[in-house]
Amino acid sequence: MRSKATKPRTKTPGIPPDPAQLEPDPTDNPVHLTLASQSPRRRQLLTEAGIAHDVRPSGIDDGRLTPGDRCTPSEWVMALALLKAAATARRSGLEPGTIVLGADTVCVNEGQILGQPADERDARRMIRAMANATHDVLTGVALICTATNRRSVFVDRSVVTVGEITDEQIADYTQTGRWRGKAGAYNIAERLEAGWPIGFGGAMDSIMGLPVDRTREAANNLAALRA
Give the domain CATH number at 65.
3.90.950.10
Residue 19 lies in a domain: no
* Separation CA 154–CA 157 (nearest Å): 10
Query: Is the pTM above the cut of 0.85?
Result: no
Residue 196 lies in a domain: yes
Residue 149 lies in a domain: yes
Residue 177 lies in a domain: yes
Mean pLDDT of 97-101: 94
Q: Which residue has the higher pLDDT, 61 or 3?
A: 61
3-state SS assignment for residue 145: strand
Residue-level pLDDT at 13: 41
Mean pLDDT of 74-92: 94
Enclosing domain of residue 61: 31-224
The average confidence (pLDDT) of the chain is 86
- Residue 227, pLDDT > 60, answer no
Mean pLDDT of 1-30: 42
Residue-level pLDDT at 137: 97
Mean pLDDT of 201-212: 96
* Separation CA 200–CA 157 (nearest Å): 11
The rounded percent of the chain whose pLDDT value lies above 70 is 85
Residues tagged active-site: 104
Residue 120 lies in a domain: yes
Distance of CA 68 to the CA centre of its chain: 22
Q: What is the dihedral of CA 141, 146, 150, 153, to 10 degrees?
A: 10
Mean pLDDT of 112-120: 92
Residue 83 lies in a domain: yes
**Domains contained in the chain, number:** 1
Residue 5 lies in a domain: no
- Residue 40, pLDDT > 70, answer yes
Distances, alpha carbon 143 to alpha carbons 6, 88, 93, 125, in Å:
23, 11, 18, 33
Q: Which residue has the higher pLDDT, 141 or 65?
A: 141
- Residue 103, pLDDT > 70, answer yes
Residue 16 lies in a domain: no
* Separation CA 219–CA 52 (nearest Å): 12
Going by the DSSP 8-state scheme, the letter that residue 64 receives in this structure is: G
